[in-house]
Each structure stands twice: as structure tokens, then as C-alpha cells.
């Protein structure tokens, strides 16, 4: 039979651990000063001294749970990039993990979805950075047709909405396919049908050349640039194409 991890030794960690267990087992209403103090084996004044009030304690609990989760996600993203995992599959895997986290930690997810709480969370900010890294890999692969920041915002908004919708539905009536459908709808808005460019090291395969040729063809329509700037851009792209090794 697996053994339970040893309880934290310092007072603050004991309180956060006790509150996190109460939150997960019995919900937000169970996280009272008296209940947490009893479970943590401390006096109630210690909670006020360390966290100020119940809201401060709840913020600390949400941060603790999310920080553990985000650290694991960051390691996965780094591994995926190093191992050459397809960036689209990596994004889909991250999406599924996020949905699972929200459904497994409903109270924490609701706390962090509160616009008055979430922006204050370093762990939530770190989670945003992980999503940004995943989207950036798609951009590097030539798969985005919108700005990276817009793609990140769309994926994040869809993920938050999907979890909150599922949490508002009785467990036995939840259609988990709704989350997948939302992701595919967003991907349809932000992705190209096929990669336009690949990493620089794939130049011999023609990916970079194909991107240069495509942009060269669109250069006359780039009205944000002056005529001289468009001419210079065409010249640069011609040089990229001319410098590429001949196709087999």
C-alpha cells in the first residue's frame, strides 16, 4: 500500500497543504480558519499572521497547486522541443492536459479564472509562458497565419471557456468532445493548411525557399511598406532563393 508523503515541516507549508487538501476534498466553503488550523495542527492566529485573511490563504493554495502543475508542463515543453516532437501535436497534448487539470482541480481553476485573482498569480503567468512557447514552436514551423500573441490569446480563451463550461455541467452529462471541438475551431482560425516554412536547418529540403518564394509573390501587396521597401524586400528574397542549393 503506498505511503502518504510526510507532512511539511514549516508552519506556512503545513497550512497551505492542509488548506489544499480541504479545498480538493470538500470545496471552498470547507476552507475555514478553524478547519485549516485543526488540520494543520496550528493556532488560528498563525493563519492571520501569515496570510492576512481567507482570501490570502486561498491565493496561496491556488498558487501552490498551479505552480507544481506548471513546472511539470514546462519540463514537457522543453523535452518536446529537444526531441523534435511535432509542435501541433505538442499543443494538442498540452490542451488535453490543461482540460484534465481544470476538471481535476475545479476550485483552484475557478479561483485562477477570476479576473481579480488570476493576473496576480506568478504561476498563472508562468503557465501563459508555457503556452506561448508552444505557439512559438508552431510559428517557427511556419504554421501560423496570425500573430503569435493573438494565437496564444485565442487558445487560452478557448481553454478557459471549455473548462468552465464543463465544470458547470453535471459530471454525468459532460461532453468532453466539446473541448476538442473548441480547439479545432481555434486551430482552423490560426493555422495554415500546411507548413509554409521549416527551421533554418531544413533549408536543403526546400522549406525556407518555399517560404521566400511565397513572400516574394506577395510583396507587391504589402501596402504597409513603401515602394522602395517592397523593392528591397524582393531583392533580399531573391538572394535567399538564389543562394539555395539546387533541388535534387
Q: For residue 231, how many C-alpha atoms fall within 13 Å in the half-sphere facing its CB? A: 3
pLDDT per residue as tens digits for the range 207-231: 565 576 557 777 787 888 898 988 9
pLDDT per residue as tens digits for the range 180-206: 999 999 999 888 765 554 444 444 444
pLDDT per residue as tens digits for the range 14-59: 898 888 888 878 777 788 888 888 888 998 888 889 988 877 888 7
Q: Is the pTM of this model over 0.85?
A: no
Which range (61-70, 119-128, 198-207) has the least confidence?
Answer: 198-207
User: Is the pLDDT at 67 greater than 60, yes or no?
Assistant: yes
* Domain regions of the chain by residue span: 10-52, 68-190, 200-243
Query: 208 or 168: which carries more pLDDT confidence?
Result: 168
> Residue 1's pLDDT band (boundaries 50, 70, 90)?
very low
Q: What is the 3-state secondary structure (H, E, C) of the chain?
A: CCCCCCCCCCHHHHHHHHHHHHHHHHCHHHCCHHHHHHHHCCCHHHHHHHHCCHHHHHHHHHHHHHHHHHHHHHHHHHHHHHHCCCHHHHHHHHHHHHHHHHHHCHHHHHHHHCCCCHHHCHHHHHHHHHHHHHHHHHHHCCCECCCHHHHHHHHHHHHHHHHHHHHCCCHHHCCCHHHHHHHHHHHHHHECCCCCCCCHHHHHHCHHHHHHHHHHHHHHHCCCCCHHHHHHHHHHHHHHHHHCCCCC
| Distances 27 to 30, 78, 103, 106, 107 between C-alpha atoms, Å | 6, 34, 13, 9, 7
Taking residues 76-80, report their average pLDDT: 59
> Residue 78's pLDDT band (boundaries 50, 70, 90)?
low
Query: 244 or 105: which carries more pLDDT confidence?
Result: 105
Q: What is the structure's pLDDT at 4?
A: 47
Taking residues 116-144, report their average pLDDT: 79
Q: Which CATH superfamily is domain 10-52 in?
A: Homeodomain-like (1.10.10.60)
Whole-number average pLDDT of the chain: 79
- The cell numbers describing 224, all together, are 504597409
Amino acid at each position: 500500500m503506498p505511503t502518504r508523503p510526510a507532512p511539511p515541516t514549516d508552519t506556512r507549508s503545513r497550512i497551505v497543504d492542509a488548506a489544499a487538501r480541504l479545498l480538493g476534498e470538500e470545496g471552498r466553503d470547507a476552507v475555514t480558519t478553524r478547519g485549516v488550523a485543526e488540520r494543520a495542527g496550528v493556532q488560528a492566529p498563525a493563519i492571520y499572521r501569515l496570510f492576512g485573511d481567507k482570501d490570502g490563504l486561498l491565493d496561496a493554495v491556488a498558487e501552490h497547486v498551479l505552480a507544481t502543475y506548471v513546472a511539470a508542463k514546462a519540463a514537457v515543453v522543453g523535452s518536446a522541443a529537444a526531441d523534435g516532437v511535432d509542435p501541433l501535436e505538442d499543443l494538442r497534448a498540452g490542451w488535453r492536459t490543461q482540460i484534465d487539470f481544470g476538471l481535476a482541480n475545479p476550485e483552484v481553476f475557478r479561483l485562477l479564472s477570476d479576473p481579480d485573482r488570476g493576473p496576480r498569480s506568478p504561476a498563472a503567468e508562468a503557465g501563459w509562458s508555457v503556452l506561448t512557447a508552444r505557439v512559438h514552436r508552431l510559428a517557427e514551423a511556419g504554421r501560423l497565419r496570425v500573430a503569435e500573441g493573438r494565437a496564444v490569446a485565442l487558445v487560452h480563451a478557448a481553454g478557459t471557456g471549455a473548462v468552465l463550461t464543463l465544470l458547470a455541467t453535471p459530471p454525468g452529462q459532460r461532453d468532453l468532445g466539446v473541448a476538442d471541438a473548441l480547439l479545432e475551431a481555434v486551430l482552423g482560425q490560426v493555422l495554415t493548411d500546411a507548413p509554409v516554412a521549416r527551421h533554418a536547418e531544413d533549408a536543403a529540403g526546400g522549406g525556407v525557399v518555399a517560404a521566400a518564394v511565397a513572400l516574394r509573390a506577395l510583396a507587391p501587396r504589402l501596402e504597409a511598406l513603401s515602394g522602395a521597401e517592397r523593392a528591397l524586400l524582393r531583392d533580399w528574397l531573391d538572394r535567399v532563393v538564389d543562394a539555395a542549393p539546387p533541388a535534387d
